[in-house]
Structure 1
Amino acid sequence: MDTDGTSTFLLAIIVGCEIGFWILLLAGLAARYLLRWRRTSAALLVCVPLVDLVLLIATVIDLRGGATANFTHGLAAAYIGFSVAFGHSMIRWADRRFAHRFADGPPPVKPPRYGMARARYEWREFGKAVIAWAISCGLLGAAIWLVDDAERTEALLGWIARLTVVLAIWSLWPITYMLWPAKPKDGDTRRSEEERRVSA
């Protein structure tokens, strides 16, 4: 099978899924806050996770069709994992800003910058990264089992190792904040107290 054609095909779907994610998200928020169409908004936002399903189906069809796994197959699995783990946070991030801009909602709260509040925030983000890693590696492992051909799935094993290294490096970030918590500069003490209350 033409591996270059497969790579281009899957890469185009990954890009299309990312674009589709933001189009559906922004359309859903616009329907909610600008047009006041709450049912339409709910329907559009429910469709946001379906872009991951499209990518998953396309990847499975390609591998079942005899394709040799390459970089883009691994990238598809990583994309799905991180989209599932961080997608809800991204939707909430966009929703708060849309509500503030168009519906007189409260201003978005920025992440804490100092002390153990920042460390707890970083640990929560790392927890999402662990979920993303687990989903991605689970999909990669399922693809390896599905194809059942070591030569055709060698690239997928490489992606499992790559994602594990990324997760290990990511873990250093919350550990650093926990061992050496950042301290507020002069004049930032009040802001630090507010952030601590928000993150508690």
Structure 2
Amino acid sequence: MIVALIVGCEIGFWLLLGLGLACRYLWHRRTVGAALLLAVPLLDVILLAAAVIDMRGGATGDVRHGLAAAYLAYSIVFGHRTIRWADARFHHRFAGGPTPPRPPAGGMARARYEWTLWLRIVLAYGIACVVLLGLVWLVDDPARTEPLVAFMDDLLKIPLIAILWPVSYTLWPRKVESASS
């Protein structure tokens, strides 16, 4: 059930995002578009609630339950940014909006940008761990929740791998071409 819900929530995310932006820019239904975009994070809350119900019902925790926490953490930390990113591109492509902003091309501005992104990844990891620890506490059965603790260890690889980008931009910054060249 949880796997189907994960797939459904992923599909629902893109459907709500696409329909919300289409309502906003193609069909000029800003209120409906805003409601659809506001509903996007609710999918992750539904997924997490299903994971809690499943575990409270006797299921042993595994990657499926861990993903519910990770999806919620992503929505909290990156959700608004993702919607803003998609909104800018949709507005530009379909409604004649301005060219979407790009990250800095290089130099220390790009390094700061990459470090900020990495800190967001660390924050998302922290939130996912807090949610998973809450689930471990709620279930209160170490035999069934041990895989969730192992999942937290696996999740730690994400910020550790992602640190390569800000470190590389800090140690070897791209040269920024001047406008006068």
Where on the TM-score scale, by shorter chain, does this alignment land: which range?
over 0.9
Q: Secondary structure at the match of 1:131?
A: helix
1:1-150 alignment runs, 5 A limit: 9-150=1-142
Hey, what does 2:178 align to over in structure 1? 189
Separation in structure 1 between the aligned mates of residue 168 and residue 4 of structure 2, nearest angstrom: 38
1:155 is the counterpart of 2:147:
yes
Separation in structure 1 between the aligned mates of residue 69 and residue 30 of structure 2, nearest angstrom: 33
What letter matches 2:73 in structure 1? G
Match of 1:173 among 153, 165, 176: 165
The Cα of 1:107 is off from its aligned counterpart by 0.8
What letter matches 1:85 in structure 2? V
Q: Which is worse superposed, 80-89 or 155-164? A: 80-89
Q: Secondary structure at the match of 1:176?
A: helix
Separation in structure 2 between the aligned mates of residue 38 and residue 79 of structure 1, nearest angstrom: 27
Please tell me whether the aligned partners of residues 44 and 68 of structure 2 are also in contact (alpha carbons under 8 angstroms).
no
Q: Which is worse superposed, 102-111 or 12-21? A: 102-111
TM-score for both structures, normalised by structure 2:
0.93
Please tell me whether the aligned partners of residues 26 and 94 of structure 2 are also in contact (alpha carbons under 8 angstroms).
yes
Separation in structure 2 between the aligned mates of residue 168 and residue 129 of structure 1, nearest angstrom: 10
The Cα of 1:125 is off from its aligned counterpart by 0.9
Give 5+ residue unaligned stretches, structure 2. none
4+ long deviations beyond 2 Å: 188-191
Q: Identity over the aligned pairs, expressed in percent?
A: 54
Give 5+ residue unaligned stretches, structure 1. 1-8, 194-200
Q: Which is worse superposed, 52-61 or 71-80? A: 71-80
After superposition, what is the alpha-carbon deviation per residue over 1:79-133, rounded to whole angstroms, capped at 9, x for unaligned? 2212321111110111001111222211112222311111011012112102211
Q: Which is worse superposed, 105-114 or 175-184? A: 175-184
Task: Give the length in aligned residue pairs.
Answer: 181
After superposition, what is the alpha-carbon deviation per residue over 1:39-65, rounded to whole angstroms, capped at 9, x for unaligned? 111111111111011101100100110
Hey, what does 1:4 align to over in structure 2? none
What letter matches 1:155 in structure 2? P
Root mean square deviation of aligned Cα = 1.7
